Structure 1
Amino acid sequence: MKTMKIPEDFIIGAASSAWQTEGWDGKKDTQDSYIDLWFKNNRHVWHNGYGPAFATDFYNRYKEDIHLMKDIGLTHFRTSINWSRFIIDYENVTVDEEYASYIDNVINELIKNGVEPMICLEHYEIPAKLFEEYGGWGSKHVVNLFVKYAEKVFERYGDRVKHWFTFNEPIVVQTRVYLDAIRYPFEQNTKKWMQWNFNKALATAKVVQLFNNKDYKGKIGVILNPEVTYARSSAQHDMDAAKIYDLFFNRVFLDPSIKGEYPRELLDLLIKHNIMFEYTEEELLTIKENTVDVVGLNLYFPHRVKARSASWNENIPFHPSYYYEMFELPGRRMNPHRGWEIYPRIMFDMAMRMMNEYGNIEWFIAENGMGVENEYRFKNEEGTIQDDYRIEFIGEHLKWLLKAVQNGANCKGFMLWAFTDNVSPMNAFKNRYGLVEINLEDGRNRKLKKSAHWYSNLIESKELQVIKDEIK
């Protein structure tokens, strides 16, 4: 067995979001988010009907949950502020004092218990009203309202919060809605997809500009979910397919956020296929001059692609898959519950890319974890879930991450998804990710899993015991 030392300043924390934990207590009827709107209009697709309405009831039980964070030894906790609830009048940016006081209490309780808050301004929580009236992130007006909302948040909590992020996974909502049309309101519109992508990159730059102009203490960044992409083979056609996939799904946010500009190859493709976003030169300058301080990366599984072999239906709107098909690696190791390949080396490969292509900017793993169905099967006689599979999953991914740090990667931490079991889009509570079990049949009572005790020891010892060491 080999021991890997974890650097003293390396964060070992956990994450959740507002909408996946809070529930609707205290929420006014006019304060639905996009997620709430989707749930209300399309509830049958959410596993067993669970959704944001009750979630984990963090709104009422945050003290209990934060005490568990302290028991585990978490030093950092990442969550979001629900934009749709923080503001009561979106046009005039009037703060809802009831919800704002709740956020005050959560931040103060975290700090009191030795847990550093890391706050994201939007985790899919765009107000439903702005989605319905303006088309959401397709509107530049919504971009400006987001900046005004951010200013109110910074004014209120900037004295205590030192880790800020504009978005969590800014590409996701529009990819599900407008590119793949698999979520409410189901509209396949690739040009709209690209406009959302651009406007969110612009919103990040504008909020970074605001943050720096106001001279707030701390750092501001964005949390992205790059899809670590591997070509099926070394043949040029497969390599080209992987490169184009990377342009559309990774560099579309990595480059403007970190480098302040878009890849020329991507812009050429957008023009070629008539899906170029609307922009001004002033907006491009804002993006160029206001790059982020730090990047969070959510990494779970690899993406493998090959050159397209099937003919393309020219009667349908352009989709990036015009250039590629997904490839399933024979013999791949799988998480059968989530349908995702397990390939821990994504940590190292992405870390080397951040070092070699993105100036070795400061970054951290903002999410990584393993979702498993029917975890109650693994309870021992004391009723504790023996989630050795999660311990192995975390350990293997952390091993490759620490190897990258040893090789010079500027990675500053690892945040597990998630602190507790919580609601996920559509999957609801089907796949459990938490260190802490949420018992749906017993008032959502909490109980530490075996992984929570293992994670606690990891934080305290700052040592990772590596059983299988295939790293060369």
Structure 2
Amino acid sequence: MSSQFPENFLWGGAVAANQVEGACQEDGKGLSTADVVKYVPPEERKSLEHILGMSRAELSAAILDKQEQKYPKRRGIDFYHRYKEDIALFAEMGFKVFRMSISWPRIFPDGEETEPNEAGLRFYEDVFNELRKYNIEPLVTLSHYEMPVHLSVKYNGWESRELIGLFLRYADTVLRRYKDKVKYWLTFNEINCTIKFPFLGAGVLTEGRDNGKQAAFQALHHQFVASALTVKRAREINPEFRIGCMLARKLVYPYSCRPEDVLKAQAENQMAQFCSDVQVRGYYPSYIRRHLQEYGVTIEMEPGDEAVLRGNLADFLSFSYYMSSTVSTDESITDRTEGNLSSGLANPHLKSSEWGWQIDPIGLRVVLKEMHDRYQIPLFVVENGLGAADVREDDGSIRDDYRIEYLARHIEQMAEAIADGVELLGYTSWGCIDLISASTSEMRKRYGYIYVDQDDAGSGTLNRYRKKSFYWYKKVIASNGQQLD
């Protein structure tokens, strides 16, 4: 490697409340949109749209259904009761930062209450205190693919402008409560996923709509405004806060050097950065106008919305990166690859994981350089990891050398990007402890350095075990990224 990581580089890991906490209705918590996403066995999965889509009848049935085993995010991995044990393991690895999220319905169960749920507020205060005991900095996401399901039923989620005020009440509550315990905040996780998966990202049902994109882009605009107003409120509460935005970032290559393929790849990459253009630059980019026109979308804005967006920009840009793909205008090319809430044509020059995600460490360097050149603000890799069906051997070991290889090569490319001039704040690999999958709600696809004894059906002791990668990542952090093999 040609560069060292900065001395204050933030090494750590990332999880989401709805994938780890469990205790879905304990201590006053309300149901979230994540709590009603049903587990679909592999043999019955048609597409991610099939898994993550939701009709109004399905939503109503899921709210009434009390069978926890059908809805794995309701049980998580019991972080709610085991957080001290888990944080101690993170500290043993040497974490400098832990990315987590706050569950909105744990604070406001239905989303419309005027007073917050004190038990929920105390839980996160206890978590932050435990992190502080080990000098681990929290990086907190306010909305990570969950919101009170009541708001989806009553308002169709973020399609309604009502949610801006309700979200701001929630954000104001936690920003004030934890103003001396949390410095780094993110508003919406992978905000651009609202476009393709409106229920996952915004609690929006598009069943029976002639133009589902109209609802999705309108919801996204309301999230933009809410995010900007949260940035404004946060700076009023504590000027030392650093508030970031967060994208799902997948690099798209042209399948060939045909100009048509290059143009199509350019359009895909532009759309991947559309949301950060709004949140970092403060306005809708010109290229989005044609896209909206072609899909018959008209975004309703109120006077003052554009000024709000311009005046409250993100301090840093964070993103997830797992893979890349290709696009082509040649319809005879059909070899596809699946991935992190996305798909595309396979790249013949890359290997794939057992879930079909193409492994492209150099693509991470490309993305870092492009986004730093585009925005000239600090970047933060807050999700990156390899999902695999880890096996616990008879001797108790979990030999995940494939994960070590994946992570090591991506960390190498981050170092090269730093040498290229990229300002990088930190790295929180995804799923530092095994958790419930965001897309498929399965447990078999594991990401963590820590193995959790639980299967897809929820059976198991929930005991935690250190994988080989646990000891490897400990050395990576101790050497500030220099010892990778």
Instruction: Give TM-score scaled by structure 1 length.
Output: 0.88
How far apart are residue 163 of structure 1 and its match?
Answer: 0.5
Cross-structure match for 1:165: 186
Q: Of the candidates 355, 364, 368, which is equivalent to residue 351 of structure 1?
A: 368
- Per-residue CA deviation, residues 309-332 of structure 1 (Å, 9 max, x unaligned), is 48xxxxxxxxxxxxxx93222243
Cross-structure match for 1:213: 236
Does residue 116 of the first structure (1) align with residue 137 of the second (2)? yes
Q: Of the candidates 382, 386, 400, which is equivalent to residue 395 of structure 2?
A: 382
Cross-structure match for 1:362: 378
Tell me, what secondary structure is at the counterpart of 1:246?
Answer: helix
Q: Distance in 1 between matches of 2:29 and 2:103?
A: 13
Q: Distance in 2 between matches of 1:308 and 1:215?
A: 53
Cα distance 1:179–1:461, how it changes in 2: closer, same or farther (>3 A)? closer
How far apart are residue 392 of structure 1 and its match?
Answer: 0.5
Cross-structure match for 1:283: 305
Q: Which has the higher strand share?
A: 1
Does residue 406 of the first structure (1) align with residue 419 of the second (2)? yes
Cα distance 1:393–1:23, how it changes in 2: closer, same or farther (>3 A)? same
- Per-residue CA deviation, residues 138-196 of structure 1 (Å, 9 max, x unaligned), is 1111012111110001110011100111011123255224799xx98766711112112
Tell me, what secondary structure is at the counterpart of 2:125?
Answer: helix
Does residue 60 of the first structure (1) align with residue 81 of the second (2)? yes
Matched length: 445
Cross-structure match for 2:453: 439
Tell me, what secondary structure is at the counterpart of 1:345?
Answer: helix
Q: Distance in 2 between matches of 1:236 and 1:281?
A: 41
Cross-structure match for 1:318: none
Which amino acid letter does the alignment assign opposite residue 375 of structure 2? Answer: Y
Does residue 200 of the first structure (1) align with residue 223 of the second (2)? yes
Q: Distance in 1 between matches of 2:253 and 2:428?
A: 24
On the 8 A contact 1:4/1:464 being kept in 2, the answer is no
Q: Distance in 2 between matches of 1:184 and 1:144?
A: 20
Q: Please, which runs of 5 or more residues in structure 1 have no aligned partner?
A: 311-324, 468-472
On the 8 A contact 1:205/1:287 being kept in 2, the answer is yes
Q: Distance in 2 between matches of 1:450 and 1:141?
A: 48
- Per-residue CA deviation, residues 406-426 of structure 1 (Å, 9 max, x unaligned), is 110011111111121000132
Percent of residue pairs bearing the same amino acid type:
29
Q: Where do 1:227-238 residues align within 5 Å? A: 227-238=250-261
Tell me, what secondary structure is at the counterpart of 2:20?
Answer: coil
Q: Please, which runs of 5 or more residues in structure 2 have no aligned partner?
A: 39-58, 333-342
Cross-structure match for 2:347: 329
Cα distance 1:177–1:140, how it changes in 2: closer, same or farther (>3 A)? closer
Q: Distance in 2 between matches of 1:308 and 1:142?
A: 42
Cross-structure match for 2:473: 455
Cα distance 1:47–1:132, how it changes in 2: closer, same or farther (>3 A)? closer
How far apart are residue 227 of structure 1 and its match?
Answer: 2.0
On the 8 A contact 2:235/2:241 being kept in 1, the answer is no
Q: Distance in 2 between matches of 1:91 and 1:42?
A: 21
On the 8 A contact 1:178/1:190 being kept in 2, the answer is no
* Farther-moved stretch of structure 1 (327-336 vs 122-131): 327-336
How far apart are residue 263 of structure 1 and its match?
Answer: 1.4
Cross-structure match for 2:410: 397
Tell me, what secondary structure is at the counterpart of 2:361?
Answer: coil
Cross-structure match for 2:249: 226
Q: Where do 1:305-344 residues align within 5 Å? A: 305-307=327-329, 309=331, 326-336=344-354, 338-344=355-361
RMSD, matched Cα: 2.8
Does residue 141 of the first structure (1) align with residue 159 of the second (2)? no
On the 8 A contact 1:179/1:193 being kept in 2, the answer is no
Cα distance 1:81–1:61, how it changes in 2: closer, same or farther (>3 A)? same
Which amino acid letter does the alignment assign opposite residue 445 of structure 2? Answer: N
On the 8 A contact 1:298/1:366 being kept in 2, the answer is yes
Cα distance 1:396–1:30, how it changes in 2: closer, same or farther (>3 A)? closer
On the 8 A contact 1:301/1:340 being kept in 2, the answer is yes
Cα distance 1:452–1:142, how it changes in 2: closer, same or farther (>3 A)? same
How far apart are residue 4 of structure 1 and its match?
Answer: 6.0
On the 8 A contact 2:35/2:71 being kept in 1, the answer is no
On the 8 A contact 2:224/2:279 being kept in 1, the answer is yes
Cross-structure match for 1:321: none
Q: Distance in 2 between matches of 1:416 and 1:83?
A: 23
